[in-house]
Amino acid sequence: MTITKPLAHIWEKMKSMDKDTRIEFLRFCMPYGSGFDTDFEIEENKKCYIIRSAYHCMDSNGFYCGWIDFTIHFWKDIPCNKGKDFTFCINGRYSHHLADKYYLRGYISEAIYEHMYYTNVNKFEGGY
């Protein structure tokens, strides 16, 4: 996926936050609903935030048919990863099968990116 609109507004908002607040803020920036039906597990290390979750996909008849597990690395040092804000990786053989079968590989990463890009960061009040 080629990213053309950086997520600078998210980094600006995170600068003054402590670790726990940054993690809650990233959770706030993640999409919910329409297949994103599970929580986002978020860890922080020196280089990035590691975000794990799953996408609940449907078959052509509208029935849920499985979960696509994925991991996002949201980079702290943007130039570190060829200028990309995050990398997206699908985990597991069955998840790859579902993503390819229902053409969801690009959709999931783009949905996450677009939701983060258009998140109104000023609505975040910390905690839930």
From the list 120, 50, 115, 36, the residue with the least C-alpha distance to 86 is 50
Angle at 76 between CA 70 and CA 78, to 5 degrees: 95
> Given the DSSP bridges, would you call strands 86-90 and 48-58 parallel, antiparallel or unpaired?
unpaired
**pLDDT attached to residue 5:** 56
Asked if 6 contacts 78 with a C-beta cutoff of 8 angstroms, the reply is yes
Which letter does DSSP use for residue 26 in this model? H
DSSP state of 41: E
Lowest-confidence segment of 23-37, 69-83, 103-117 by average pLDDT: 69-83
State pTM to two decimals: 0.82
Alpha-carbon span 13 to 10, nearest angstrom: 5
Residue pair 73/26 in contact by the 8 Å Cβ criterion: no
Residue 15 has a pLDDT of: 81
Work out the pLDDT band at 75, boundaries 50, 70, 90. Answer: confident
Count of CB atoms situated within 10 Å of the CB of 40: 19
**DSSP character for 30?**
S
pLDDT-above-70 percentage for the chain: 87
Summarize the confidence of residues 39-55 as an average pLDDT.
Answer: 92
| The predicted structure's pLDDT at residue 11 | 79
